[in-house]
Amino acid sequence: MVHEGVEVKLCPSPDNTDEVFILCKSRDRALKEKSMHDRFVKRIEAGVERLRKSCEKEAGKDICAKIERRIGRLMQQNSRGASFFTIRTEFDRQKNMTVLSAEKNDDDSHWKRITEGHYLLRSNITDGDPKQLWEAYIHLTDAEEAFKINKSDLHIRPVWHQKDDRIKAHVLVCFIAFVMWKMFGLMCKRAGLGDQPRRVFNELKRIAMVDVVLTTAEGKELKIRTVPRPEKTVANITVSSETHLA
């Protein structure tokens, strides 16, 4: 186990001695993928029921081609659950209507169910420790996440500069913003709030400064600025950062 809920195993390549594979199993990822598969399966089941009702409404007509097109759209929209079903249509002359049959294969032996939470990494470092290789992969995902953070949370959109000094300035601003983002993550971690910097922003948004304006008997305005006392989570972040800076 390289991390809580994450296991890795080094697997040599059967064809190439210059590379290795790292089989990873994540508990959280397995739960996420299971929930995702369950959601798509339910959508397909609901769609199949709607198609069957359409067949009943248009009894007496051969609408196989129409239903098959709708099945195709249904499977395309829910592609991650499509492999769990085998759907067929035929025109039953005895019933004088289009009949839709759906076979469901959603048991524990299905390949997608077996591989939930598993992913494979590939590396040309054949003598590396699997834990270190996995951590290197995580660093790559952190770098990719940094670009997403600049666009979403930090609201820094790409700017098409024409001069070198402006390009360097823009890169510097993005880098400083990302460093601050990582610092917030460390603050959260020390305060026992996990390692998600978004928690800092969500908690700080609750602090609002309010100016209370009162009129005295003499007609003068008395302004009192008030700041609510931060909740325990925010106070923990502040104490943790002050202790680290000290």
Q: What is the pLDDT of residues 20-40, one digit of tens each?
A: 898 999 999 999 999 999 999
- Domain range for residue 76? 1-136
- 87 pLDDT higher than 80: yes
Q: Mark whether 110 and 180 lie in a shared domain.
A: no
Mean pLDDT for the stretch of residues 172-191: 77
- Say yes or no: 87 and 46 in one domain: yes
Q: Are residues 118 and 190 in the same domain?
A: no
Longest dimension (CA), the chain: 96
Q: What is the pLDDT of residue 245?
A: 45
Q: Are residues 122 and 13 in the same domain?
A: yes
Let me know whether 41 and 104 are in one domain.
Answer: yes
Same domain, 114 and 159: no
Q: Is residue 141 part of a domain?
A: no
Structure confidence by residue, pLDDT tens digits, 143-180? 676 667 666 666 666 667 778 888 888 778 777 877 87
pLDDT attached to residue 149: 67
Q: Are 43 and 59 in the same domain?
A: yes
* Same domain membership, residue 74 and residue 158: no
Answering whether pTM is above 0.85, one says: no
Task: Quote the tokens at residue 158.
Answer: 């790409």
Q: Are residues 77 and 167 in the same domain?
A: no
Determine, yes or no, domain membership for 142.
no
